[in-house]
Amino acid sequence: MTASHGCDVVLFDRDGTLVVDVPYNGDPGRVAPMPGARRAVDLVRDRGIAVGVVTNQSGVARGMLTLDAVLAVNRRVEQLLGPFRAWQVCPHGQYDGCPCRKPEPGLVLAASATLGVPTNRITVIGHIGSDVAAGLAANARAILVPTAKTRREEVDAAPEVGPDLPAAVGKVLR
C-alpha cells in the first residue's frame, strides 16, 4: 500500500529509540520499550506504512554478545511492539570500515532493497546523529528524537527533531 503523504516505510533505530538502551544487551529479559514506542509504531502501522528496524550492534564484533543473542533481543522487541517488516543489523565495530554501520547508509539501503521501496519514500527515526546521518546519506527523510545521550550538536544539526517518539511519528503522518 502506498501512503499518500510521501512515506511508505518508517525505519526505527532500536536501542535508545524503540527500547531503553542497555549497552551491549544480549538478554531479552532486559528489553523495555521507550515511552510511547508501542503507540508510535501502531500509529504508523495503522496508516498502512511498513515499519522496520536499523540497528548497529558492535558488541558482536567486540565479542561481548553473539548474533544469536541480538536476534533473541530482536524477537523480544517484536513481542513487545509487534512485527517489523524489515530488520537490518550491523554486527561490525566502529573501525571495521563496513558500509552498513550507521552513519553509513548501508542499513537503510538494505531495508530499501528488502522492502522494494525507494529511499526517498523512507523515513528514519533515531536518537543520535549517526541515525540521522545514515538516513540522509541514503536520501531518506530523517527525524531525531533526542534522549539524555543525544549531544547538543546532534540536535542542532538535525533537519527535523521530535520531542518524543509519538511526536516524531506525527511529523511523518502529517
Active site residue ranges? 13, 15
Cβ atoms within 10 A of the Cβ of 119, count?
20
Residue 100 · residue 107 · CB < 8 Å: yes
Comparing CA positions, the residue from 117, 155, 150 lying closest to residue 10 is 117
| Total residue count of the chain as it appears in this document | 174
Residue 32 · residue 20 · CB < 8 Å: yes
For the chain, where are the E strands, in sequence order?
Answer: 9-12, 50-56, 86-90, 122-126, 141-144
Looking at the DSSP assignment, which residues form a beta bridge with residue 10?
Answer: 51, 123
Is residue 75 classed as helix, strand or coil in its secondary structure? helix
For residues 9 and 2, what is the distance between their CA atoms, to the nearest angstrom? 9
Comparing CA positions, the residue from 68, 86, 94 lying closest to residue 9 is 86
- Kindly calculate the radius of gyration of the chain based on its CA atoms and give it in whole angstroms: 15
